[in-house]
Structure 1
């Protein structure tokens, strides 16, 4: 039967994920669901036209939650991007819209009998991921958010630019909320295998400024084109491949942390069961405090759902 994916919400992010899955040959079957049926149909037709010039031809269906029963990977990418137009850097501005969206779609997903791996990109990512897990009733390992996987990529880009290296040569993690309380755990960051802290001192770099640039990266993109799509879609697809390949990839994502009783961005191992385990990398005392405070912010907002 092959690999079956589904996407709920085919706006900028959902459509970009769909395009990547089809053009890279990842999907044998793809289901598109959107509140706007004309939009879902248009994306279906556009992708089907593209397959005439591709090596693979996945089956693409639309608007049928029953198809989720045997879906391997479900992306939740719905939202209202215009909620961020006057958000002033606050991803929680989407919350009043997205919480109503997930209250509508979660029962439909549960009713479908979906039992695969769910990957959420909706904002506020951590609270929405936790709500979906609770309402659908899947094991916590099977529901994850892209979370700080994207923020870590932004940190890698910012640091790489300073040292003129490939971003993949920058290792380390952004922890916490996919939002304003996130932080770069500089104690985990290495450039070409070397600790960044002495490197930054030697190059007279302001790590606080670099962290600010990474945190505000999404807003810089949003202010220019009105949304973000490529990087977040790439992160989501990367996670899905790690699941279906049983790659045991270590990367940060939003998953449940028992210590904080909250979903929060942290490193984990991604494999066929979703989040196979969390990796407890030693942090500095200051970083531990930041993580606890960030988790508390998420927990407080989740309680209002």
Structure 2
């Protein structure tokens, strides 16, 4: 019995719920939101869909006690309007900080002891606060972090060279926010180092321009539809599937960094226990400095919580 909980049934939460139900990933799904009318409507809509699906999911709502034996819990609550104009994820901080201080004790009181995946912004600081206040281990708690930003990097680079984004590898690291950066030294296209591939294609690289496109990719989506949902929900579900299947899947997530004593986007291996281990990679001195700066940015905000 694969049992999953979602706290926050907004654009991201409901997209995750829809994906879990239509793909048959969840046998039992718990939906929780402060807007009970919306939760009821989403429950009914998902139940209506099941008559046309090959799988069935039991859907329950508004009961924190059900989280006791949940395998995976998603926290997806947020206030997108706060960040929509600027694209700055810290604009949501005051709202999400208050929300987490209300929700975390309820998670702890439920007896939840599974794997928690956070998408709430500012992702790194909120994820660390959840880990500490819900009294869970650093293995059990991760944020989607720069997993989405790495996907955006793959898209932007693939468009530059006319290849499939799946053929672009590498990482966007650091904060899921303005201080994030691409570790260009490790980016490869069709298994060739990026610089080498660009020369083969006879194309010039403007790293600053590429990085600006990646950093502002979320804002571009916000400005068109008022929120983001598909990309981040897909990342969250991918992590859940890695936990269920003990995939030992290597990807960048927001998880605890011992050196800087903070949650931050970095490569890790995801399996049945959550974050199995952090996968340290080689960075240039310049990239190390950017990573340190990003860690300090996150810590500064986290300390205000």
Indicate the TM-score class for this superposition, using the shorter chain for normalisation: over 0.9
2: CA distance between counterparts of 1:274 and 1:197? 35
1: CA distance between counterparts of 2:84 and 2:23? 32
Q: SS in structure 2 opposite 1:32?
A: strand
Q: Does 1:80 align with 2:98?
A: no
Q: Corresponding residue for 1:198?
A: 196
Q: SS in structure 1 opposite 2:31?
A: strand
After TM superposition, the structure 1 = structure 2 runs for residues 39-78 of structure 1, keeping only pairs within 5 Å, are 39-78=38-77
Q: Does 1:293 align with 2:298?
A: no
Q: Which moved more, 1:193-202 or 1:69-78?
A: 193-202
Deviation at 1:17, TM superposition (A): 0.1
Q: Corresponding residue for 2:267?
A: 267
**Which runs of 5 or more residues in structure 2 are unaligned?**
none
TM (normalized to structure 1)?
A: 0.98
1:217-265 Cα shifts (integer Å, max 9, x gaps): 0000001110000000000000000011000000000000000100000
Deviation at 1:205, TM superposition (A): 2.2
Q: Does 1:125 align with 2:145?
A: no
2: CA distance between counterparts of 1:99 and 1:200? 43
Deviation at 1:280, TM superposition (A): 0.6
Q: Does 1:147 align with 2:145?
A: yes
**Which runs of 5 or more residues in structure 1 are unaligned?**
none
Greater than 4 Å deviation, 4+ residue runs: none
What is the total number of aligned residue pairs between the two structures? 303
Of 181, 188, 191, 1:183 maps to 181
2: CA distance between counterparts of 1:28 and 1:279? 32
Q: SS in structure 2 opposite 1:141?
A: coil
1:96-117 Cα shifts (integer Å, max 9, x gaps): 1000000000000000000000
TM (normalized to structure 2)?
A: 0.98
2:84–2:227 Cα contact (<8 Å) kept: no
Q: Does 1:37 align with 2:21?
A: no
1:200–1:206 Cα contact (<8 Å) kept: no
Deviation at 1:123, TM superposition (A): 0.3
1:200–1:207 Cα contact (<8 Å) kept: no
1:192-237 Cα shifts (integer Å, max 9, x gaps): 0000023335411212111110110000000111000000000000
Deviation at 1:180, TM superposition (A): 0.2
Deviation at 1:164, TM superposition (A): 1.1
Of 87, 92, 95, 1:94 maps to 92
Q: SS in structure 2 opposite 1:140?
A: coil
Q: Corresponding residue for 2:24?
A: 25
Q: SS in structure 1 opposite 2:254?
A: strand
2:188–2:194 Cα contact (<8 Å) kept: yes
2: CA distance between counterparts of 1:260 and 1:84? 27
2:123–2:143 Cα contact (<8 Å) kept: yes
2: CA distance between counterparts of 1:256 and 1:131? 11
1: CA distance between counterparts of 2:6 and 2:191? 37
After TM superposition, the structure 1 = structure 2 runs for residues 215-230 of structure 1, keeping only pairs within 5 Å, are 215-230=215-230
2: CA distance between counterparts of 1:83 and 1:26? 32
Q: SS in structure 1 opposite 2:73?
A: strand
Q: Corresponding residue for 1:254?
A: 254
1:140-197 Cα shifts (integer Å, max 9, x gaps): 0110000000000000000011111111100000000000000000011000000002
2: CA distance between counterparts of 1:148 and 1:85? 19
